Amino acid sequence: MLRVTLIALAAGVLGTGAGGLIVALLGRPSNRVYSPALGFSGGIMLAVAFLELLPAAVELGGALHAGAGLLSGALLIALLDRFLPHAQLASGNNRFMRVGLLIGLGIAMHNFPEGLAIGAGMQAAPSLGLAVALMIALHNVPEGMAMGSPMALAGMRRCRMVSLVASAGLPMGLGAAAGYRLGELSPGFLALSLGFAAGAMLFVVFDELIPAAQELGSGHRAAFGAVAGVLLGLLAHAWLS
Ligand SMILES: [Zn+2]
């Protein structure tokens, strides 16, 4: 369990931290880069949900458990979205520290179910958990950029910005520990947890990542980014399993 938590922490902290570091070194990326990057982040999540989490959930617990998990994951994110203060990813255009912090809060809160996916995946099969962790780490990079950009524009010191951005990855360790423990209870619980993580991720993709990617970019940039993310997820899936 400690190993699982550490792997998830690495995927979270190193992933978002890398996004913050890119912003610290290169400055805020232009929307031409930003838009497909967020689409890419969403595409990877689609691949994780449909290629890794949902097939494993259906195999372990049947469509009913997987579907019940999926629905509750999506509902939870919708509730958090309604009741917790945070900002949409596309507000990253902004020069305000507050926007960066609020984006970070949104990322930190959806990192919990992403960690759950890693922990439950590890419980289902170590190769599944590792594939999920790797893809989530990649997906986290553009999210770290979204959080770090407004902070950098607002003039926050670089090392402070990078450490704040990296700390948004911390809930992932907590989620992984919870997913691993829940998955131990029974195959039905494991299927529920995997479905739950998939539902939470799909909601973030449809509600946040794709709309932000579309808003920031013109033409088909966002769509190409998303397809590239799915493609990478497909290759990683074939390669790691
Ligand atoms: Zn995420």
Are 48 and 204 in contact by the 8 Å Cβ rule? The answer is no
User: Residue 74 — very low, low, confident or very high, per pLDDT cuts 50/70/90?
Assistant: very high
What own/partner pairs with CB < 8 Å and gap ≥ 24 does 85-88 have?
Answer: 88/208, 88/211, 88/212
Looking at residue 92, what is its pLDDT? 55
Mean pLDDT score, 43-54? 92
Looking at residue 90, what is its pLDDT? 66
Are 193 and 5 in contact by the 8 Å Cβ rule? The answer is no
CA of 44 to the centre of ligand 1 (A): 10
Better-scored residue on pLDDT, 100 or 113:
113
In 3D space, the residue among 135, 185, 188, 141 whose CA is nearest the CA of residue 166 turns out to be 141
**Radius of gyration (Cα) for the chain, nearest Å?**
17
Q: Is the pLDDT of residue 30 over 60?
A: yes
- 207: tokens are 């509600």
CA distance 127 to 39: 26
Q: Is the pLDDT of residue 89 over 70?
A: no
CA distance 121 to 131: 9
CA of 188 to the centre of ligand 1 (A): 25
Are 176 and 7 in contact by the 8 Å Cβ rule? The answer is yes
Does pTM top 0.75 for this prediction? yes
CA of 88 to the centre of ligand 1 (A): 13
CA of 208 to the centre of ligand 1 (A): 10
The domain limits of the chain are 2-240
CA of 37 to the centre of ligand 1 (A): 13
- The letter for the amino acid at 87 is A
- 98: tokens are 């507050």
CA of 138 to the centre of ligand 1 (A): 9
CA of 35 to the centre of ligand 1 (A): 15
